[in-house]
Structure 1
Amino acid sequence: MWRRALLLFLLLPLVSESLPAEDQLIRIGVLSHRGDQATSDAWSPTAIYLSRVIPDYTFEIVPLDFSDVDPAVKFGQVDFILTNPGMYVNLEVRHRISRIATLNNLAGGTAKNVFGGVIFTRRDRDDINTLDDLKGKSLMAVDVYSLGGFQMAWREMNTRGLNPYRDMHSITFGGIHDRVVRSVRDGRVDVGTVRTDILERMAKAGQIDMADFKIINRKVNPGFLLSRSTRLYPEWPFSKVLHTSNELAQKVAVALLNMPSNHPAARAGSYAGWTIPLDYQPVHELFRELQLPPYEYTGRFTLEDAIKKYWYWLLVALVFLLFMLLMTTWVARLNRELKKAKRHLERQYELILNSVADGIVGVDLNGNTTFANRAMTQITGWEADDLIGRNQHQILHHTRVDGTPHPADQCPVYATNSDQVPRFVEDDVFWKKDGSSFPVEYSSTPIRDGQLKTVGSVVVFRDISDRKRISEETRQHQDDLAHVARLSTMGEMASGIAHEINQPLTAIATNAHACIRMLESGNGETERVIDVMERIGAQAARAGEIIRHLRQFVKKEQPELSLIDINEVINEVITLLRTEIRKAGAKVVLDLDERIGKVLAQHVQIDQVILNLARNAIEAMADIPEGARLLSIATRNEAVDYARVTLTDTGPGLDPAVAGQLFNPFVTTKPNGMGLGLSISQGIIEAHKGRIFVEPVAGGGVRFIFLLPTCPQRETET
């Protein structure tokens, strides 16, 4: 009897798992990094979505503080967990949770499945500009376990040799991101750190003004437009707890991956759906570098541990010691032979070093030259005797390409000696003995002795004069191609422009004849004559303005950049297109932001991009009823130092088969088009450190968008 009862007790968990879970409550623990109420408001719609998609289960959100996450998973208080990648790595090791999806965060209007950290201070803190300036300052982070709100920033400080626990005046933790931002804004602490997109979200909600803050150690990436100070790491994973069945986890994963990016639940949580689980190795690397759990004991291997583990090897070592005592005489003889071989190897090393075509120079920790190969002397004109023992920076690297002094503390070679991190510089200048400079690319790699202690670095450089010349020729070829395209465009528009110029010329001639007749009549109509002359002047000015725009557009532009007002460029293009717009029966609506920042660009090339996009839009609306042909052009300032230009038409839209290849050369939707206009436009925008893309418009039509970086120095002056 007791055996049967024991069997039923053992089988009970299996039976309960196999039974249908009708209206079973499933708890989803969510890290409450912005407060419990905000967490509940953001994620409850996701729980409602899962309850609707997966029948027989009711999902519930459980907000968890940083200190509550581990106990909730350990004691089975939740069935799924959504937390930052740092806490996930620890939970994976300690409690064997498994990620089933990764969040696509909606940051800056685009979906991102990576994020970073932001180190910031008040903009009026002129004494804090770099990571080195943080020493002795007060820091507030979110939590000791917050990946984006502390640990990412810690890693960047550690790279600069700064320990926040040791080198900061004080370090406190605010618990939630918003409290950290407000504490810095109100001056209660000097510096704060939060995850990316927190500042932008608070600014969008009207809680703060981004202009009040200054980003420390700013990193710029055209593909990631949010303010950040650290490297990027994968976004939050959605994970199942060990006791949760694989069948339920599979249903949840399918439901999350099938969620549309614009689903109401996603919008409520400020994200854009989910993607397959990402690789979280970068988070493991961060924890190894900082020796944080679960890697806090890495490298701690005591003598006692070695004896217990390798006692038999110690016994063998004793036997070998006796043997080596007997072999002392023989070893002494071998030592003499080794010295001879060493001298031979040194000669071989010198031959190999001198056979390399790239310049090679050794530098000790004080910056003095220790060796140089033959190519080094041939390229620079400095003999080895002139270099060895002298400071290489003062000889080769003392001045920048613009002629300004190059401080030694900003030299990558000195930095390699300091932090033992190899570096590669793609474009710099070295100076020859005759006082001339030449462009180089070079690498700086630490040199370590037999004890793995850094004793200096080796610099390998290459003269890239020919490469830069070829690059300049390629750029010139691109400019010539763009110029030919502009001339071709003007050829297509010649009839309309001639008509546009002919109107003011005709008006001038008519008014001039009328003026002559009034003067010949002798009626003394002086006021009427003056009025007619003013009309003649206005028409002449109109014709001159059209001709000025035309000459500017077809001229071959100079390579120099200048500060231009993008709104003025748009108005100039509309002037050239006025006849074509009228002939097409289209209407143009301009929504130009007067506060748009000026961009550093080549005026004619930006003219060409806007003209090409506008003409494409006008031609695309040819088959649309005349009253519905509308071209909208708008400009706005992006949040992170970019000017945004949007051109939207009401045409039939793009064929999906062509949309993905639209910017490729020789791809066109026009019967007689060459397929070069959009390719040239993309090349121009990317050469200006911007980006261009296209997106469909609901109800028909196409929207072309391009971004150009604004000039913050100019904006500050104005």
Structure 2
Amino acid sequence: MKRGVFASRRVLGVLLLCAAAARAEVRLGALAVLEGEDTRRQWQPLADGLQRALGVPVRLQALAPAALEQAVARGALDFVVTNPGHYVALEARHGATRIATRSAGAQGDPAHAVGSAVVVRADAPGPPATLAALRGWRVAAVAEEAFGGYQLAAVEWLRQGVDAEAGGLRRVFTGYPMQRVAQAVLSGEADAGVLRTCLLELWERDGVVPAGALRVVPADDDGGTGAPPGCRASTPLYPGWAFAALAGTPPELSRQVLLALLAQPGESGALDGVWTVPADYQRVHDALRLLQVEPYAFLRETRLQALLHRYWGVAAALLALALVGVAYLLRVEVLVKRRTAELTHSLHERERLARQNAQHQEALGHLSRLSILGELSAMLAHELNHPLATIANYAAGLRRRAARGDLAPQDLERALRDIAHESERAARVIGGVRALARKRVPDRVAIDPRALVGEALTLLGGWQPQAVRVACAPGAEALRVRGDAPQLLQVLLNLLQNARDVHRAAGCEGEPIGVEIAPEDGCLALAVRDHGPPLSPEALALLFTPFHTTKPDGLGLGLSISRGIAEAHGGALHARPVPPHEGGGMRMVLLLPLAQPEAADGDTPA
């Protein structure tokens, strides 16, 4: 029995050899995606192996996508080697039939061999952790129809909520060969690029791309399979390249080529692989259907006439419903006009009450500022006393030296300069107090929070230098907020005064009050931290209630007005207890929205 089987195989082989010998040559087309002769060098070992197995010349043609399509259309090829997406289009348009699928290595799975690697420069700031993080970036790819060089990455972007075609990415199509994509990323013409899996590793090995210059954005989910050994991928892997027979190729020749392919040893290099039986390309169809590209481009078309013919009953019902709706709308319009007068009166009344409430809030804020000025009066006297005493000392010294006749011109110049400096210092103190006390229309400008803190500490200059400790988080020095400087200064002064009162009441005046500047959830957090005793839940719940105070001479309006100012700026004011292991106390956090870059460019210090 076995002898008969072997004899039958020998007869079949002889018949296939005879059929191949009747042909002058076998014409093999390969999709060219690499530069120059790289594609020919990649596939020439395959053509040589087939030529040895078939005993007839195998003419390899490395063709760009458009040229390969034309050659297939005019019957100038017997077989093609192409990527899965291009094969599906050839199958639909020209009746191509895959006879083998390329796998990644001798132990590879042909159903998981092709993918995309999205690369960015290794020195790019803030390297993206996922493909979705590339939203809005300039992304280079060879062409919209490139399967591994664009479409697989586009599918993953769609699944992660980024529609590249609808503007989710700024696409830059470089055209073939694929080396142009890497060059665009390295030169800065694009922020990221889409390559076929394993090409980056091959180019790094051959010196086409400097090793380590590009990094691959990792995949969220590799579909349960990994990339080929030594390769990195950004997408799940799909079936490998297809070896397809065209419509005019004799079946006997196709079978002979299939036997020769299955007997081929695996090639060497980063793109090594072997040929095996055709894999299931359903996942390829699913990806192209999701993108609505060939052969599923028809899904983009809108066929209004066909839809009307198919759903004429529904259309008639909708028309009748529309007529009923028009009649209903006419009746509703009459009712709306009747209600409009009533609502207009209510809105006017509401606006009047809102204006009245705003006026009351402004008056309360003015009273709060005057209360703060009262508490600052002693410190103000101290701050003014120092420059005035200095000016008086300089004036007395100049009189004495002038009387003795030993007043040199340079000494006079230096003394006058110091007198002018002390005068400006006194004027700044008085100007800050006047700005705080003045009742005026708020003016929103870009504010440097550090300058705001510095102005508050200047007004509180009577405090000991170690009474306040300012900490600015890394990167926060460049942040700006947009608001009314005197109002925000009022809030900060109120928080600092409250913290000092807490320290005095708790007997911990030696502990410094902390002022912290840091970003928080897209806002700027300006926190004042004290070391007083913890507040009870009841006291914490009433902390921002108007006229609620724990001070014998307090009005109970400071924190309420401060919260109102913060909310008017689009921010918030929170009271956060400090855990005991961090020293205890209370942290009052003023959250303010960050200014837009165009506003921050012309920032005005507080």
Tell me the TM-score range normalised by the shorter chain.
Answer: 0.3 to 0.5
TM-score by length of 1: 0.38
Higher normalized contact order (CA 8 Å, seq sep 6+, divided by chain length): 2
The structure that has the greater radius of gyration is 2
TM-score by length of 2: 0.45
